[in-house]
Amino acid sequence: MTVKKLSRNLTFWVLLAIVTGALLGHFQPATAVKMEFLGKRFIDVVKLFINPIIFLTITLGISTMGDLKKVGRIGGKALLYFEIVTTLALVIGVAVAAVVRPGDGVSVGKLSTDKVGEFTKRAGDFSWGHFLADNLTLQVLLLSIVLGVVLSKYAGRKSIILFLKQASKYVFRGLHYVMLLAPIGAFGGMAYTIGKYGIATLLPLGKLMVTVYVTMALFIFIILGGILRYCRIGMLSFLKYIKAELLIVLGTSSSEAGLPGLMEKLERMGCAQPVVGLVVPTGYSFNLDGTTIYLSLATLFLAQVFHIDLSGAQILTMMGILMVTSKGAAGVAGSGFVVLASTLTALKVIPVEGLALLLGVDRFMSEARSITNFIGNGVATIFLAHNEGALDHDMAEEALGKRLKPFRWRKDYTSGEYLGEVAEQASEAARLLKNKQEGPL
């Protein structure tokens, strides 16, 4: 890559910002901590785009779909997929913790429990009613579905759809400008993390850190990679395709920062607009693979630290609690750490005070959680689009730069309106190939 191309590469600048932020955090921690506002402000600006993008994507997709039964079918399959994969992640976390036993030999020392009460209070305040009432993303999702259904039945919807398409263009254009600031956000987030907690805080709990990262890496490449292989897509190709978004998530420790970009790239690689619009935002609340793995590992880690041998019944109870509490992680301030507090409180076996051990390293592990959650939602969208015949493999081949096996396109999902603007941008060669595949066989 030439110097000129490198200077225009967003991935390069984000990576450079992460390294620079880490160095500042290590050598000038007092200054680095003050950079926190850069990361927070960037995430706040990106969040402004999330709900408009969800609203426009889902409304346009459903209103042009024609058959509303497909909406219910996609939604039902998505929820089933989420439950199966997150349960698998939970089982993997429990199994790894039981075999590796990262909590053995860790000294509780003099636990500083000053901040633990803050998280346990938030955990006690959590309820599903509040989760649904306060989760604006889910509210926008439901509103978009209703409006899309209404528009699909409205005879004069053409002018409204045209207006929404124009609005969508401007929203994504605005997002592209905002993403140019991603290096600044990544710099602020990484500088704050290293400056606040320091690399030295990782040493006492190094075994847990390594266990969490290795387990999530194996989950990504074996479980999620296997799901992608079923769709005839390689995990490495997909990760390379979304590398800029992954670095933004890494730098900011927030999957929200990369959510709009992920939705756009999934459409560009041929996932149908309604599938992207329904699966990604729903998965953000209900398909938290990384959070589930972390919660199960951390719970058993604390049990091992306090020399508590959980019985089989207690482990099953813990898994049942986590299957519920993990679904609300995205709707709670403090995310996985708060949900972990609620889980320990409900389990009533492991001292909640043990959370103080994790305060210093939770921020570092939140990066692994966010990245795994992010990749998991991308894979879920691709799988469900492929399963529905709503994945244009010609566009995926063009986006990922890799030859795929021939794919017979299902006629229900071939309309340009259904795929939205992405279909209009497909190459003529891809269109001719698709038409040939749809002909007499």
pLDDT at 205: 76
Residues of the chain with pLDDT under 70: 1-8, 64-68, 107-135, 200-204, 325, 327-338, 360, 402-441
Whether residue 103 contacts residue 336, with contact meaning beta carbons closer than 8 Å, is answered with no
Q: Domain residues of the chain, as ranges?
A: 67-154+204-432
Buried b (16+ CB within 10 A) or exposed e, 320-343: ebbeebbbbbbbbebbbbbbbbbb
Taking the CA of residue 197 as centre, how many other CA atoms within 13 Å lie in the half-sphere pointing to its CB?
21
Distance CA 233, CA 401 (A): 11
Give which of 6, 36, 9, 3 is closest to 21, Cα–Cα.
36
CATH of the domain spanning 67-154+204-432: 1.10.3860.10
What is the structure's pLDDT at 92?
A: 93
Nearest C-alpha neighbor of 263 from the set 285, 279, 250, 247:
279
Please spell the DSSP secondary structure of 228-292, one letter per residue: HHHTT--HHHHHHHTHHHHHHHHHHT-GGGGHHHHHHHHHHTTB-HHHHHHHHHHHHHH--HHHH
Place of tokens 């599938």: 275
The predicted pLDDT at position 425 comes to 40
- Say if residues 93 and 296 touch (Cβ distance below 8 Å): yes
Residue 53: burial class (beta carbons within 10 Å; 0-12, 13-18, 19+): buried
Alpha-carbon separation of residue 74 from 48, 143, 168, 357 (angstroms):
27, 17, 23, 42
pLDDT value at residue 219:
95
